[in-house]
Amino acid sequence: MKRRILIADDEEIERRALRLILENEPDLEFVEAGNGIEALESVARDQPAVAILDIKMPGLDGIAVAERLRADHPELAIIFLTAYDQFDYARSAVRLQVDDFLLKPAATAEVIATIRRVLSRIANRENEQLSNQTAQVRLDGAIKLVAERLRHDLAEGLPDPEQIRKFLDLRGMAGAGEPAAGRRSGSGAGGSGGAPPGNLDRGSGRIPPGAV
């Protein structure tokens, strides 16, 4: 999958230089902007993964562009491009949670390393999001399966307290903040498991109305 890079700089020679450095990277493609307004329009239209923003652009400068992008496109990676190694710019980068920065004139190896570093962070974030989504799908499936078993048991008049406990655990409804492991450890063969979870009555197998 190719990653799209926005290069926003009012100096065409700077845009060309960066593009020339990065064009040999087979997994990258590029769009350009000559000022801040064009940069905002390009992000909305082209949906790049990374925006390289020159800080000193006429009109809407890189800092102002980054502020708007952070509000409207929080997932976008931003790299500041500047010839000014000054504290004020570093402070703005921290405040705006900029992903990285390049100082002009940047060496070829530095440009490539910076892009790769930022793209690696993007890939890690996407993998984490995918993992979380997969875990949520599995949890939803487990809740559905246990709920179906409970409905069947209740219809037969044979509620299983352990199935009810499992369902309530999955739904985050069991107990009053007591760790699930602690509840399980007390329910041994002697039946001295302490208070039943939530609104569950061990004798009747009741669960909160509407929970299943």
pLDDT in tens, 29-42: 999 999 999 999 99
Give the pLDDT confidence score for residue 82 in this predicted structure. 84
Tallying the residues shown for the chain, one arrives at: 212
Structure confidence at residue 105 as a pLDDT band (50, 70, 90): confident
Cis amide leading into 74 (omega within 30): no
Q: Is the pLDDT of residue 4 over 90?
A: yes
Give the pLDDT confidence score for residue 90 in this predicted structure. 64
SS3 28: strand
Q: Comparing C-alpha atoms, which of 208, 130, 209 is closest to residue 165?
A: 208
Q: Are 8 and 56 in contact (CB under 8 A)?
A: no
The pTM (predicted TM-score) of the whole model is: 0.61
Higher pLDDT, 12 or 187: 12
Dihedral, CA atoms, 40, 33, 58, 53, nearest 10 degrees? 70
Task: Report the percent of the chain where pLDDT is more than 90.
Answer: 40
Q: Which stretch, 54-58, 127-131, 206-210, has highest mean pLDDT?
A: 54-58
**First-to-final CA distance of the chain:** 43
From CA 197, how far away is CA 194, in angstroms rounded?
9
Higher pLDDT, 185 or 2: 2
The pair phi, psi for residue 82, each rounded to 5°, is -150, 150
